[in-house]
Structure 1
Amino acid sequence: MSECCVRGSLWQGTPSGRETTLSKNKSYRTGSNKDVTILFIHDAYGWTFRNIRILADAYAKEVDATVYVPDFFGGEVLPPEILDDPSQWHTLDFPGFMARNSKSVREQEILACAQALRSQYKRVGAAGFCFGGWAVFRLGAKEHANLVNCISTAHPSLLEKSEIENVKVPVQIIAPEIDPQFTPGLKELANSIIPTLGVPYDYQYFPGIEHGFATKGDESKIAEYSAVKRAKGSMVAWFRLWLHEN
């Protein structure tokens, strides 16, 4: 993960959910469906990030699901105010932050949260943004059969070829053109490998759009915010299809 993961805009609005606990993790919960749930795996700004919570509220309403956004950074979050002050980006210890929140550190608690949801709900989806991208592929891997019914990711970070090869549930990728994390090479791998795996696959490409837009796109820029709305609509339709209609 890199500077592109902290670039973006803070959205207007007030989240309407509440804070609770999922497994052993503090979590934001929104929605009231007793049968359908979505595990939201946040980006670099963490579970308290206003944009993520606003987005979770929208998914809860439009998908008709209960959405959970657990804390997968152990109580640590990047300060959202740096979105408006790029001159402060150099003050972040991003390598240290990512070392404290690496795959090996966080994977087991992500799995535990998904297992907790599977024990409570009939249908479970997983959505991952930036940092959460690799995680939803792990949740949808063949070794975790039936843990989730489908996954979707927007501009995934830290994704590896082996994770792409092992996915065994319906998968959707929201892919901006300009993305140092989900590179052209990874895009090509995904589009060559996933169609051979026998799982439903939806690839949504966003020309001229940059990494991070789905959770931090600028509301004041027409093209960028239009992409935000298109990404949300695509993911909502994907979750409605696999969590309600199949």
Structure 2
Amino acid sequence: MSFDCCKSGFKWDGKPIGSEGALDKNKAYITGSNKDVAILIIHDVFGWTFNNLRILADHFAQEVDATVYLVDSFGGEVVDENLLESAVKTGDAEVLKKLDMPGFMGRNSKDIRGPEVFACARALKSQYKKIGAAGYCFGGWASFQLGAKGNNLIDAISVAHPSLLVKSEIDTLFVPTQILAPETDPQLTPELKEYCNKVIPGLGIPYQYDYYPGLVHGFAVKGDPNNAEQKAGLERAKNATVSWFNEFLH
């Protein structure tokens, strides 16, 4: 996975209103108070402390009326945003070495983090009647896996610019699925977009493919609110996910 796809846009302003706690054995940002409906957010490369995602979690808690869990899926490790930005802009060998994205991805592979994601989903299943999973970049493949046939853990998924996705994870989907797809995305390639739109409609599940022309990978959490086009994309993506979960979690 190339990390340059993850650095686009700017930080959002605002202060999260939730609190830090735990889900199963993982730390989590928790917001909302619904005792029946929960949403599990599976984050991108910037991790569970990323302010944009915490603010987004607050929106979901209020607008979907759900208890939202943004869980740490990187074992406490957080990518340095400034270091990542420097690496992308300059390509400096020393910065790249210090960043060590290959090592980071190795420590946070599907085989390592997948079982933790499933444990968190099982913990929610024991507490809530309806559960949604929202995956961003890294969290996309995990959301697809949770929604696979036979797992019976969640009721709907919404993914934006998913990374590391493979066709077998698309083939086995069994819950209502929403994909927020930017025009330019080195991870959700044109081939994978075409495959999703060919295969998922034949799986007998509700499906929505939401296309964002002119926008790039990361737009749904890292778009620039001072740029009219990117701000519109941020708002449309948030509203689309809210609408999706309101339909299938209530």
Using the size of structure 2 for normalisation, the TM-score is: 0.94
Deviations 1:170-212 (A, max 9, x none): 0000000100000000000000000000000000000110000
Question: Is contact 1:7-1:83 (8 Å) kept?
Answer: no
- Any runs of at least 4 consecutive aligned residues in structure 1 with deviations exceeding 4 A, and if so which? 82-85
Give the match for residue 125 of structure 2: 118
Q: Equivalent residue for 2:81?
A: 80
Q: Is the partner of 2:126 in helix, strand or coil?
A: helix
For 2:181 and 2:78, the matched residues in 1 are separated by 25
**Is 1:18 the counterpart of 2:19 in the alignment?**
yes
> Structure 1 residue 199 and structure 2 residue 205: aligned?
yes
CA 1:15–1:83 in 2, change beyond 3 Å: closer, same or farther?
A: farther
Q: Structure 1 residue 235 and structure 2 residue 241: aligned?
A: yes
Post-superposition CA distance 1:80-123 (Å, at most 9, x none): 33476544763421111111100001000100000000100000
Give yes or no for the alignment of 1:28 onto 2:35. Answer: no
Counterparts of 1:58 and 1:47, CA distance in 2:
16
The aligned length equals 243
Q: 1:221 aligns with which of 210, 216, 227?
A: 227
Cα deviations across residues 198-232 of structure 1 (Å, max 9, x unaligned)?
A: 00000000011000010100111110111010000
Q: Which residue of 2 aligns with 1:38?
A: 39
C-alpha contact 1:49 1:80 (8 A) present in aligned 2 = no
Q: Separation in 2 of the partners of 1:106 and 1:212?
A: 21
- Helix, strand or coil at the partner of 1:64: coil
Map of 1:51-90 to 2, 5 A cutoff?
51-82=52-83, 85=86, 86-87=89-90, 90=96
The counterpart of 1:140, out of the listed 131, 136, 147, is 147
Identify unmatched segments of 5+ residues in structure 1.
Answer: none
Note the C-alpha offset of 1:79.
1.7
| Aligned partner of residue 20 in structure 1, secondary structure | strand
Residue 66 of structure 1 deviates from its aligned partner by 0.3
Mapped to 2, the partners of 1:92 and 1:196 lie a distance apart of 42
Q: 1:40 to 1:30 in 2, by over 3 A?
A: same
* TM-score when normalising by structure 1: 0.96
Output the amino acid matched with 1:11: W
The answer to whether the 8 A contact 2:84-2:99 is kept is: no
Which position in structure 1 is the counterpart of 2:7? 6
Letter in 2 for 1:17: G
Asked if 2 retains the 8 angstrom alpha-carbon contact of 1:9 and 1:83, the reply is: no
77-86 vs 14-23, which moves further:
77-86
Q: Are 1:6 and 1:44, in contact at CA under 8 Å, matched by a contact in 2?
A: no
Q: Which runs of 5+ in 2 are unaligned?
A: none
Deviations 1:5-31 (A, max 9, x none): 133311111011000010000000000
Query: In the aligned structure 1, how far is the partner of 2:57 from the partner of 2:220?
Result: 12
Out of 99, 106, 113, the position equivalent to 1:99 is 106
Cα distance in 2 for residues equivalent to 1:6 and 1:96? 18
RMSD of the TM alignment (CA)?
1.3
* Alpha-carbon contact 1:128-1:154 (below 8 Å) kept: yes
